[in-house]
Structure formats: C-alpha cells, structure tokens
C-alpha cells in the first residue's frame, strides 16, 4: 500500500482545472498529487459529469485521458444519487422555487464513487465535504476519503518537507 493508503481516487472538476492551468495558485499542488498517483499506481478515475463541467472552460481532450479511467453515469448511479439526495435533502429541492428535485453534480459523483468502490476523492471544494461527504459517511451510505488539494501532498502524508 502507498503512503496515502488508497488504491483508487476520483478527480473532481476543481482538481482538473488546477491541474491544467499552470497559472492557478493550486497548479503545483495538483501536479504534485497527479504525479504521486501515477508513481504509486493509484487508479485515477474521471466522471463524465466532471468532463461536462470541465468542458465549459476548456476542451476536455486536453486532460491526460491516457492516464484516467473514464466513469460514465449510469442507471445504478442515478438510483444511488436519488438515495443520497433523499438522505441529504429529504423531499425538498435544492433550488428555491423550483418544483422538482435537482440533484447536485457532487452527489452524482459520490454515487459513482460508492458504486465503483473508489476509495478517495480529491477536491479544493472543502464545502462539499461538509455539505455532502461527511453527512453521507455519517449515515453509513458512503465510505470515502476526502483529500483536500488546498494542502500540499507532504501535509497529507504527515511529512514536514515537500517531496
């Protein structure tokens, strides 16, 4: 087992944006993590939902697709998303004044993680940890490690100095 203690990880949109934008403040963190995942032979997964979000700002063909396992959102993921949404929101919608339930993309990606037994997700969006990840873990619907890419890899590994 590698020093992060995981064998698989899902990249979220914020990670992909920082990985590909050399001018972003978190680019070096993203690059450091990505190289570590490759070096440690951690299976790197990318949801088609992330591809859709990423394509708003850049051509997803620019992503390192040869190193990624693309995960399509399927029927089972949709059903799991509904279970997750109900746990998080009850029967309420998450968009005020909208007369149907809209399920956040983060919840859909977490459903994919659960259905594929992916062990971790990496993101800069710590609010999704408190809004979605922790409540689903606490309700025993999800078992995943959240890796905060705002922290350098050496901090995640408990080391004093960067690799």
| C-alpha distances out from residue 111 to 54, 85, 105, 127, Å | 19, 10, 10, 18
CATH number for position 29 = 3.40.50
Residues 6+ apart with CB under 8 A from 32: 152, 153, 162, 163
Structural domains of the chain, count: 1
Q: Does any domain span residue 105?
A: no
Identify whether the C-beta of residue 82 lies closer than 8 Å to the C-beta of residue 141.
no
Q: Does any domain span residue 82?
A: no
Q: What is the pLDDT of residues 44-72, one digit of tens each?
A: 999 999 999 999 999 999 999 999 999 99
The average confidence (pLDDT) of the chain is 91
Identify whether the C-beta of residue 136 lies closer than 8 Å to the C-beta of residue 142.
yes
pLDDT band with cut points at 50, 70 and 90 for residue 127: confident
Q: Does any domain span residue 86?
A: no
Q: What is the pLDDT of residues 72-119, one digit of tens each?
A: 999 999 999 999 988 988 755 554 554 556 788 999 999 999 999 999
Identify whether the C-beta of residue 12 lies closer than 8 Å to the C-beta of residue 54.
no
Q: Does any domain span residue 50?
A: yes
Total Cβ atoms within 10 A of residue 85:
22
Q: Does any domain span residue 36?
A: yes
- Sign of the torsion angle spanned by Cα atoms 64, 46, 48, 56: negative
| Burial (Cβ within 10 Å: 0-12, 13-18, ≥19) of residue 138 | exposed
Q: Does any domain span residue 106?
A: no
Q: Does any domain span residue 93?
A: no
**pTM recorded for the entire structure:** 0.91
Q: Does any domain span residue 121?
A: yes
**Residue 121, domain extent:** 8-73+117-155
């Amino acid at each position: 087992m590698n020093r992060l203690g995981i064998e698989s990880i899902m990249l979220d949109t914020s990670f992909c944006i920082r990985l590909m934008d050399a001018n972003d403040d978190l680019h070096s963190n993203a690059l450091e993590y990505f190289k570590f995942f490759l070096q440690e032979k951690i299976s790197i997964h990318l949801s088609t939902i992330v591809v859709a979000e990423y394509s708003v700002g850049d051509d997803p063909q620019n992503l390192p697709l040869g190193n990624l396992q693309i995960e399509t959102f399927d029927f089972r993921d949709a059903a799991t998303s509904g279970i997750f949404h109900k746990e998080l929101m009850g029967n309420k919608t998450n968009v005020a004044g909208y007369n149907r339930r809209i399920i956040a993309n983060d919840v859909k990606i977490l459903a994919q993680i659960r259905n594929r037994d992916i062990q971790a997700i990496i993101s800069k969006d710590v609010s999704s940890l408190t809004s979605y990840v922790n409540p689903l873990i606490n309700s025993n619907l999800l078992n995943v490690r959240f890796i905060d890419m705002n922290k350098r890899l050496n901090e995640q590994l408990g080391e004093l100095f960067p690799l």
